[in-house]
Structure 1
Amino acid sequence: MNDEHEHEPELDPVQRLRAADPAAGVEPRAGFADEVVARAAAETATESAPVADLGAQRARRRPRWLSIAAVAASLVVVGAVGYGVGTTTGGATNLADGAAPPISLQSGSGVGATDQGMMQGDAAVPEQAKMMPGAGAGASGLIAPYGFGRNVFSASGLSDADGTARAYAFDARAASDAETVAALAAALGVVGTPELKDGSWTAGPQDGTGPSLWVSLDGTLSFSYSDPRINPWQCADGAETCTPETGNLPSEEAAIDALRSLLVAAGRNPAAFEFTSETYEGAVTRSAQAWPVVDGQRIDQGWTVELSNDGMVSAYGALADLVSIGDYPVVSEQDAFARLSDPRFGAAMTNLPIALRDQPMAATSEWVPPTEPPAAPTTGTSLAWPVNHVEIVDARLGLASQWQPDGSVLVVPAYEFTDADGGTWSVIAVADAKLDFAVE
């Protein structure tokens, strides 16, 4: 840590960065940013950085943060909105359009799943739970397949060939040290010596008075940064409501450039990521995401920044390196398809059918309150037992995160099946021989 910074806690980190900018006050000409990005793309290799071997990675243990002073300047604020773009940004824009999307072993519907992808029993939930006010006629039939519904699957043309696939793990322990956290804090303008306390690393004030960094001792060494001074939603003390300050919404380019610069400061190669950016109508901030790409597929453990008119409001990511743990045996597409109906594997609906993705959660017709309870069933009434028929039309082998009981995180082979309506289902692809079915 820089002792000078420790003795000047009152110095605004953003102002310090602005003061260090040799181009302060200079207005770039039209097209300047595009030229710089194009030049960087031509000079920098765009191949994904190789994934390290776990044993060799731990043997070295030499921090990659020693060059942090050289790359921290890439976070210099340009004016009040953007971030400086230089050769340290590491390659082309890499907008997310090349790698396959990530596979998740958790339910994408948010219904029927608990933490770490464990599925709850369908039979434990009464049918009334699906019929919510506002659901409308026939809506329960649409909800059931994507939550607690009973499903029967069909498919044809699936391969019966077994094989192997590479698996990975996050090496959180190798990166959990004061030097790593201090370097990230310095890049983010957080003042203060990192402290390990109550199961996490912290740096900066934790009372909302200034930029702060929090690093969890979890399986990915996930971090969270925030600057409450420039949070447009920060309410004044005692205020019951607050209105965000208005200003120029940061551009997609500015948000992605800020995230790319942060990755460089954290020792990551931006060429090994794909980037997305989003905002919403009426927003005063814009977010950007960086998705690690491994074996041609995005991993579902991305980095995110939120940018306001005044700078970086927040950032999130995983400090742990992703390292290879060798090849694992995987079952065939046909055997994985059989797992969709096997309760041991708790097949997860991870994406709604195309026709429902843009529809609101509330139903399509207005709910009319009842005036009396339902009539008593008559003798011989058949029991309603709806079963959804799901036709699988495609299978893809990829990678998905899996949390272990001890908190460590693997990235393992998994299948994603697409049904005839465009919905997706996922199951683990690792063969039974490498699965521990014991309950602790």
Structure 2
Amino acid sequence: MNDNEQRDPLERLRVADPAAGLEARDGFADEVVARVAAETSAASPAEAPPVTGLAVERARRRPTWLQVAAVAASLLVVGAAGYGIGLTTGGATNLADGAAPPVSLRSGADAGIAEQGMMPEPPTGDLKMSAPDLGGQIYPYGGGRNHFSASGLSTSEGTAVAYGFDARAASAAGTIAALAAALGVEGTPELANGSWTAGPQDGTGPALGVSLDGTLGFWYSDPRIAPWQCADGTETCEPSGQVPSEQAAIDALRSLLASTGRDPSAYEFTSETWEGAVTRSAQAWPVRDGQRIDQAWTVELSNDGMFSAAGALAELVPLGGYPVVSEQEAFDRLSDPRFGAQMTTLPIAMQDAPATTDEWVPPTEPPAAPTPGAEVSWTVNDVEIVEARLGLASQWQPDGSVVVVPAYEFTDADGGTWSVIAVADAKLDFAGE
């Protein structure tokens, strides 16, 4: 990952996880990916806490692993920071007047799979993804050889408000203590090794951690009520219990927001679960100017209560108006390597198609020698843009701060989406120093 992606607060927290090296049972990830594919129809890390016994760490890690595995598997098929239809149940509770979805300035894999810390980033250039009804068609995933076309795009420039996370203002003992109290975490918050912590950090009780990053990202867990908690000396166990209702998960998150002094009506709520789960997650997306911001608060709920939560503790503050390029100029940026246009959602055909299950047949001889004078294969993808939308996307800065800036999302004729920053050149520091 590049420097900006390394500053992702969730990734930094995962790196600090002392159980990050533990793995699920053999074949688990393959089973999840296979099931999702078949059913889907649509920054320097904080110092790790002391490592404890395997049983304790396995119990702490298991809920995160299972949830992340299901999310990452769905992202592999859908290619967006969301869940695949058919994989999960639940929808949006539009408490913020049906805000538009967030725009991401990273590829679908960067914004989802790689962000989960489970799967490698996609290769640069063309990514070949085959399915029975696609004939091995090559899809552009960003950084590839693409020929873009469009018509009727606006040439009007304008301005739009940008925002930033004021992490320093929220990084105070009182703020952290209030969050700890709202989550039922005992103990006085302590600042050490690049993060605030409260509660036992050895997996024996409710614990809170807050990273000193650009969003003041926090995590909370209570391993005592995790459905995947195994009895002492048992390395594997099956979760049990009924999936909480969508309303219960959203209500828990709404209460958490309110207890920290936030107005739940300024957020849009969603909730998901997945087949075979015994828990339900809920997300609260901050809304500004009718747009979701891609830094949601999230909770995971079991029958026994909320056993994990995460979010950006820093508040969003307006940074004033920024000049914004026209749709046409933003379209031209899709072909400009300086802006690194990325596909942020796979085409509909890829969302609908099941993954190929054809068995690989080993070759019996190498390919024939190229024929003299034969054409050299140089695949260029034709991408027809049919729609443009101006939204907001978060962007990590070299100093670790996080801005939320205007960005365009383009939809192509196949249902894929592409994104580029919308801020005019005059307000872009290309030197990055």
TM range (shorter): 0.7 to 0.9
Normalising by structure 1, report the TM-score.
0.72
Alignment partner, residue 201 of structure 2: 206
Deviation for aligned residue 1:104: 0.4
Structure 1 counterpart of 2:148, one-letter code: F
**Aligned ranges 1:173-188 → 2 under 5 Å:** 173-188=168-183
Alignment partner, residue 418 of structure 2: 425
Deviation for aligned residue 1:148: 5.0
Alignment partner, residue 222 of structure 1: 217
Match among 134, 151, 156 for residue 161 of structure 1: 156
**Aligned ranges 1:12-411 → 2 under 5 Å:** 94=94, 98-110=98-110, 122=124, 130=127, 140-142=136-138, 144-244=139-239, 246-360=240-354, 362-363=355-356, 365-411=358-404
Measure, in 1, the Cα distance between the counterparts of 2:176 and 2:112: 37
Q: Secondary structure at the match of 2:395?
A: strand
Q: CA RMSD, aligned part only? A: 2.5
Measure, in 2, the Cα distance between the counterparts of 1:140 and 1:169: 43
In structure 2, runs of 5+ residues without a counterpart are: 1-91, 116-120
Q: Describe the shift of the 1:260–1:138 C-alpha distance in structure 2 as closer, same or farther (beyond 3 A).
A: closer
Count of residues in correspondence between the two structures: 337
Query: Can you list the C-alpha shifts for 1:345-388, whole angstroms capped at 9, x where unaligned?
Result: 0001011112212445x436443332222111121121111110
Q: Describe the shift of the 1:169–1:209 C-alpha distance in structure 2 as closer, same or farther (beyond 3 A).
A: same
Q: Is the 8 A contact 1:391 1:420 kept in 2?
A: yes
Query: Can you list the C-alpha shifts for 1:418-439, whole angstroms capped at 9, x where unaligned?
Result: 1111111000000000000114
Q: Is the 8 A contact 2:107 2:343 kept in 1?
A: yes
Measure, in 2, the Cα distance between the counterparts of 1:325 and 1:131: 41
Q: Describe the shift of the 1:432–1:306 C-alpha distance in structure 2 as closer, same or farther (beyond 3 A).
A: same
Alignment partner, residue 65 of structure 1: none
Q: Secondary structure at the match of 1:180?
A: helix
Measure, in 1, the Cα distance between the counterparts of 2:155 and 2:412: 19
Deviation for aligned residue 1:398: 1.0
Q: Is the 8 A contact 2:96 2:287 kept in 1?
A: no
Q: Is the 8 A contact 2:142 2:342 kept in 1?
A: no
Measure, in 1, the Cα distance between the counterparts of 2:361 and 2:111: 25
Measure, in 1, the Cα distance between the counterparts of 2:382 and 2:169: 47
Normalising by structure 2, report the TM-score.
0.73
Q: Is the 8 A contact 2:95 2:266 kept in 1?
A: no
Q: Which shifted more, 228-237 or 307-316?
A: 228-237
Q: Is the 8 A contact 2:142 2:341 kept in 1?
A: no
Question: Percent identity over the alignment?
Answer: 75
Deviation for aligned residue 1:112: 12
Q: Secondary structure at the match of 1:103?
A: coil
Structure 2 counterpart of 1:341, one-letter code: S
In structure 1, runs of 5+ residues without a counterpart are: 1-91
Structure 1 counterpart of 2:137, one-letter code: G
